[in-house]
Amino acid sequence: MAVTMRDVARHAGVSPKTVSNVMNGYPFIREDTRRRVLDAIEALGYQMNISARNLKSGRTGIIGLAVPELSLPYFAELADAVITAAEQHGLTVMIEQTGAVRDRELAALARPRGHLVDGLLFSPLALGPDDAEHLRTSTPTVLLGERIFHGPVDHVMIDNVTGTRAATEHLLDLGRRRIAVLGTHPGEKVGTAAIRYDAYAAALTDAGIEPLSALAIPAEPWHRSTGAEAMQSLLATGVEFDAVLALNDTLALGALRVLAERGIRVPDDVAVAGFDDIDEARYSMPSLTTVDPGRAQIAATAVDILVGRMNGDDADHREIVAEYALHVRESTTGR
């Protein structure tokens, strides 16, 4: 007969709940208790049956987080914030990288998560509004940040429009009139690049300034290297500019490096602003003016909603917009 969790508990002299906690990797278990349970599992050759456990408790104690790219600091720091928020609920996070590839984003949703994770936080980059049907999964799912879907699941969003407008208006308030934008995705109608570009263009238009295509430089993906290349392209055209809005911080940091190499003074000659408020933005030379999208709030809110759904909350889906904050630093004001 198969060894049960109860057998393990009896052998270890603990409750079945303690065995379950050890196997789920809960913190705050005394080391000698953990040791006894692990010894009992080994001695009895116990193999937890995930399906049986799911049928009984309905829980694995694990939530999934699917993000486009962990080597982008924004997503690495978001993952860190999600892990911190999940810990408050005693949950472990398993992270999957989708590479912003449509097929892999669909696979992350299609995987039979019911057996692996209790819920999924999903930050899509390649899927668009037309893919909403794919979001109807049996596992509770909450969307994070990067793109505006409407339904059928909860969505905690970055305030891309207002945040980008605030950064652009800050540059305008400094008297800058020829504001280049780095990281556009020409031809894309939806997605973060399009949303942020449109907000930039609207802010210019409202200030009576025509957005110039010569000042909009594509870059994809949004890395330091592509930001550096975009800045080199812009400089190569010889077009005049007195400010740069980079559509994320890593682009801005790559651009800052090129400006320094060319002896172009920041912010005296060119003011530079980014978006994301990654840790690096506080330490770069000069430090980077940027928009904090409210990462900690996004993570905490998303985990709270997900846990609610896992516990049976069946209210209508919610769309929550996180509060952004503009952090003004040396790259625009010199101090």
Q: Which positions touch a second copy (CB under 8 A)? A: 22-29, 31, 34, 38, 41, 47-52, 64, 69-71, 73, 76-77, 79-80, 83, 92-97, 99, 101, 103-104, 106-108, 110-112, 114-116, 138, 223-225, 228, 253-254, 256-257, 260, 279-280, 282-285, 287
β-bridge pairing 290-292 and 325-327? antiparallel
Least Å from the CB of residue 81 to a second copy: 9
CB 166 within 8 A of CB 173: no
Torsion of CA 64, 68, 70, 74, to 10 degrees: -100
Least Å from the CB of residue 92 to a second copy: 7
Smaller CB distance to a second copy: residue 25 or 334? 25
Least Å from the CB of residue 220 to a second copy: 17
Least Å from the CB of residue 16 to a second copy: 15
Report the alpha-carbon distance of residue 91 to residue 156 in Å, rounded.
19
CA angle 22, 52, 20 (to 5 degrees): 10
Smaller CB distance to a second copy: residue 240 or 279? 279
Smaller CB distance to a second copy: residue 54 or 162? 54
Least Å from the CB of residue 161 to a second copy: 27
Smaller CB distance to a second copy: residue 228 or 270? 228
Smaller CB distance to a second copy: residue 144 or 199? 144
Smaller CB distance to a second copy: residue 35 or 173? 35
Least Å from the CB of residue 80 to a second copy: 4
CB 275 within 8 A of CB 291: yes
Least Å from the CB of residue 256 to a second copy: 7
Report the alpha-carbon distance of residue 274 to residue 261 in Å, rounded.
19
Least Å from the CB of residue 175 to a second copy: 25
Rg (CA), the chain: 24
Name the phi and psi angles at 262, rounded to 5: -90, 0
Smaller CB distance to a second copy: residue 118 or 280? 280
Give me the DSSP letters along 209-258.
-PPPGGGEEE-SS--HHHHHHHHHHHHHHT---SEEEESSHHHHHHHHHH
Classify each residue of 196-224 as buried b or exposed e, where b means 16 or more C-beta atoms within 10 Å of its C-beta: bbbbbbebbeeeebebeeebbbbbebbbb
Please, what sign has the CA dihedral across residues 311, 158, 330, 288?
positive
Report the alpha-carbon distance of residue 150 to residue 127 in Å, rounded.
13
Smaller CB distance to a second copy: residue 138 or 213? 138
CB 222 within 8 A of CB 183: yes
Report the alpha-carbon distance of residue 249 to residue 268 in Å, rounded.
20
Least Å from the CB of residue 128 to a second copy: 14
Contact partners, residue 312, CB within 8 Å, separation at least 6: none
CB 59 within 8 A of CB 312: no
Smaller CB distance to a second copy: residue 108 or 158? 108
